Amino acid sequence: MKDRFTGYVCAAAIAAMIGSGAALAQEKTFDLKISHWVPPSHPLQKALEEWGADVEKESGGTIHYKVFPAQQLGKAFDHYDMARDGIADLTYINPGYQPGRFPIIAAGELPFLIANAKGGSQALDAWYRKYADKEMKDVKFCLAFVHDPGSFHSKTKKIVLPSDIKGMKIRPAHATMAEWVKQLGGTNVQSSAPEVRDILDKGVADAVTFPWGSVPLFGIDKVATYHAEMPLYTTTFAFVFNKNTYNQMSAKQKKAIDDHCTNEWALKIAAPWADFEHAGIAKIKAEAGHEVYELTPAQLAEWKKSAEPLEKAWAANVKKVGVDPDAAMNELKADLVKYKAAY
């Protein structure tokens, strides 16, 4: 009887071990390709490495990652479609690189709206989660953020008033800035951030809109020497995830991804970049041959006045996709106040 009981126990233990092994075998291992288009020396590289490492840890080592910087997997303009199509699993996108495709999140591009990147990123991310599925439904939206406010950096002359833009060739940061340049009588020169120094150097563009720390990072300070010190605009960014990869994951693995697609992580990604960009103002001021100039209150008022049609254009665009522009903008402004990032 004792031998029979012992046999039952052993059989049960073996069955449990087999079942446990089968369960482990069913949890697929993933090697995530994380793609971005800025240099590996950019703060975003380290932020993405930390994001990937934390996901790997929470997944129990079943989700691995590799970060591909500097357009290794594809052009900056293509990063949304790369996530959609599975060329990469997680990509860093600038929605403003594709005019008209993502009209709702373009609110974050409006001039004189977001005062700083840390609170601004939390506010934009919290606000946009309600709307992401309306315009990014063929990927899994992860998080959104902005860079610290950027400005005009010119090769040919000081830009002081909106009227100075007339006749100039400007590389805009995104679609909203492009529309502003057009309204002010300038000509837009489209290029991604890695191409900016080259188009300035060759005279294809006279000036650019760019955040401060990235000016020396991308070598733009070698050709642009006039810099307007005003918090002109921000650019919206997002991390988006391939749906097919996500849908193949176990519940535990999905939780590891979800736990890193949060408002808290939006701030973690944005904060070091914000500090880097803000420090760029002092860095450029210290460079020989550069003129960094502030605007008077009257000059700044002219810029704000000239930007008013942009919010009306944004409202018209989001109305076309079934969003109440007044309600949406009021929600965003309330979040900006909440996170101390209202201009």
Let me know whether 70 and 198 are in one domain. no
Per the domain annotation, does 211 fall within a domain? yes
204 in Cβ contact with 223 (< 8 Å): no
Rounded to the nearest integer, the mean pLDDT of the chain is 93
Let me know whether 140 and 253 are in one domain. yes
Let me know whether 86 and 171 are in one domain. no
Per the domain annotation, does 169 fall within a domain? yes
Burial of 307 (0-12, 13-18, 19+ CB in 10 A): buried
Let me know whether 108 and 184 are in one domain. no
211 in Cβ contact with 149 (< 8 Å): yes
Per the domain annotation, does 132 fall within a domain? yes
Let me know whether 124 and 83 are in one domain. yes
Q: How many domains does the chain have?
A: 2
Per the domain annotation, does 271 fall within a domain? yes
Q: What is the pLDDT of residues 30-79, one digit of tens each?
A: 999 999 999 999 999 999 999 999 999 999 999 999 999 999 999 999 99
Per the domain annotation, does 323 fall within a domain? no
CATH code of 64's domain: 3.40.190.170
Helices (H), ranges, the chain: 2-26, 43-58, 79-85, 117-128, 132-135, 175-183, 196-201, 214-217, 243-247, 251-258, 263-285, 297-320, 325-338
Let me know whether 49 and 116 are in one domain. yes
Which distant-in-sequence residues (6+ apart) come within 8 Å of 161 by Cβ?
299, 302, 303
Q: What is the pLDDT of residues 190-218, one digit of tens each?
A: 999 999 999 999 999 999 999 999 999 99
Per the domain annotation, does 92 fall within a domain? yes
Let me know whether 143 and 183 are in one domain. no
Q: What is the pLDDT of residues 154-192, one digit of tens each?
A: 999 999 999 999 999 999 999 999 999 999 999 999 999
Let me know whether 155 and 298 are in one domain. yes
Let me know whether 48 and 124 are in one domain. yes
Let me know whether 238 and 290 are in one domain. no
CA dist., res. 161 & res. 300, Å (int): 8
CA dist., res. 131 & res. 327, Å (int): 12
Per the domain annotation, does 69 fall within a domain? yes
* Residues of the domain holding 63: 29-147+234-276
Let me know whether 131 and 244 are in one domain. yes
Per the domain annotation, does 328 fall within a domain? no
Determine the pLDDT at residue 27. Answer: 87
Let me know whether 220 and 246 are in one domain. no
